[in-house]
Amino acid sequence: MQPFTIKYKPKKLNEIVDQDKAIKKLKDFVINYKKQKKKAILLHGPSGTGKTISAHALANELDLEIIEVNASDVRNADQINSLLGSAIQQMSLFSKGKIILVDEADGLSGTKDRGGLLAILKLMEKSSFPIILTAMNIWNNKFSKLRNKSEIVEFSPLEYTSIFKILKKICDSEKIKYEDSVLKGLARRAGNDARAAINDLETLSIETKELTKKSLEDLGERNKTDTIINALLKVFKSTDPKVAITAFDNVEEDLNQQLLWLDENLPKEYTKPEDLAKAYDKLSKADVFNRRIRRWQHWRFLIYINALITAGIAVSKKEKYRQFTQYKPTGRILKLWWAKQRSMKKKAIAQKIAEKTHCSTKDALKNTLPYLQFTFKKNKAFREQLTQELDLSKEEVAWMKK
């Protein structure tokens, strides 16, 4: 029996929900490939928004052969060249056109020992066929050359209502009993990831052919959130330092996110002023050590940070609090993430300026970019000239306008 994600995989582009603009750009790029200045198109956006499936649906719709590699599995130059070297120039065995798909390009390495990213860049220059790359985050500095040489298209996060429509269609086809409110709850829990929502639906309904409120509650949060919640429980609901010390051992969130989760939820859990003061004292000392690591690279301080934010906070209370507390992430995590995305776009533009003006990226950021951006907003002729000169992507143009 086929998994739902395979069985209900979109075969045509019009079956992919809420990505009309991105799909139009993708289709135009592939159909008019010989007229394109750039040899590749880079699809980026969160997991489960339709990037990979769009490439497959387009190939099916245009009757093209698709050659696919996953960059997370094939990272070094030798493997890339072995799999794609001949494919980018030779005609298909079936006399069809071709699409070259490099999935999860985030996994490519630009380092000398692997060189997968450099290999892709070289192959792009001599490819006879359109290359489609997918990635979640393209604003890392190592992708600067890839961004410059690729058409950039963003796949937006899916609203839960769109995911609900997908799930509803599957339920109707599979004759799965459900209530709209429960199905919408499942769509919300997926965190904008349609593929994850479909997998959850199959898991919950595979035996009973029914989706119930109880089964949804049993599912719990997605793995990453569940892991951090369990870590907080070990710290907040224990006074035993041996139990608390291992709380963050298997958590995917990095140290800065762990500190933010603790900061957000400490006041909700520790209601006695004395306990709260002691706990925040431990958290503040951990933050001091964290700053020293960033400034002086004294990584041995990590062991002190972990002890402070786990065992230290756990023993700050005299006794365990019995009340139920619903732990929530801080909005600051999302704000920090968006700030990082904006900063990376800014650096990407500064790198282009630095290459043209023969200065450092740092100087371009500080001395050149602010003046260029001011003129860019006010002068249309200058805007068009600079866009062409720096080969700015549409997203970079939008950033300069803001």
Torsion over CA: 103, 105, 111, 112 (sign): positive
What pLDDT shows up at residue 72? Answer: 64
pLDDT exceeding 70 applies to what percent of the chain?
Answer: 89
Which residue do the tokens 């494919």 mark? 87
User: How far is residue 334's CA from residue 330's CA, in Å, rounded to a whole number?
Assistant: 8
List the domain boundaries for the chain: 4-154, 160-219, 223-329, 333-401
CA distance 360 to 48: 38
3 state DSSP class of 327: coil
Say how many CA atoms lie within 13 Å of 6 toward its Cβ. 3
* Residue (of 188, 306, 208) closest to 255 by Cα position: 306
The CATH-assigned architecture of domain 160-219 is: Orthogonal Bundle (1.10)
Q: Is 281 helix (H, G, I), strand (E, B) or coil?
A: helix
At 58, list the tokens. 């387009």
Instruction: Return the amino acid letter for 267.
Output: P
Distances (CA, A) of 223 to 52, 227, 267, 328: 23, 6, 25, 15
pLDDT at 219: 66
Per DSSP, the chain holds a count of helices (H) and strands (E) of 21, 5
The pTM of the full predicted model, rounded to 2 decimals, is 0.57
Q: How much is the pLDDT for 220?
A: 56
What pLDDT is recorded for position 75?
60
pLDDT of residue 59: 92
CATH architecture of the domain covering 4-154: 3-Layer(aba) Sandwich (3.40)
Residue 112: the pLDDT is 47
How far apart (Å, rounded) are the C-alpha atoms in residues 348 and 329?
Answer: 30
pLDDT given for residue 308 in this prediction: 96
Decide: 224 and 194 in contact? Cβ < 8 Å.
no
Hey, which residues does 131 pair with through a beta bridge?
40, 100
Query: Residue 167, SS3?
Result: helix
Q: How far apart are CA 298 and CA 305, in angstroms?
A: 12
Sequential pLDDT tens for the chain (402 residues): 678 888 888 889 998 988 999 999 999 999 998 888 888 999 988 888 899 999 999 999 998 988 888 776 666 677 777 777 777 766 666 657 888 898 888 777 555 446 778 888 888 888 888 999 998 878 777 788 888 888 999 888 888 888 999 999 999 999 999 888 888 888 887 777 888 889 888 888 888 888 888 877 766 544 444 468 878 988 998 888 888 998 888 787 788 889 989 999 999 999 999 999 999 999 999 999 999 988 888 888 899 999 999 999 999 999 988 787 778 877 665 566 667 667 788 888 989 999 888 989 888 888 889 888 888 888 888 988 998 888 888 888 888 887
- What local confidence, expressed as pLDDT, does residue 333 receive? 58
Angle (CA) 393-112-51 rounded to 5° is: 40
Q: Which two tokens mark 401? A: 């306008």
How confident is the model at residue 42, as a pLDDT?
93
Same fold, 4-154 and 160-219: no
pLDDT digits (tens, 9 = 90+) for 298-335: 888 899 999 999 999 999 999 988 787 778 877 665 56
pLDDT (tens digit per residue) in 107-161? 775 554 467 788 888 888 888 889 999 988 787 777 888 888 889 998 888 888 8
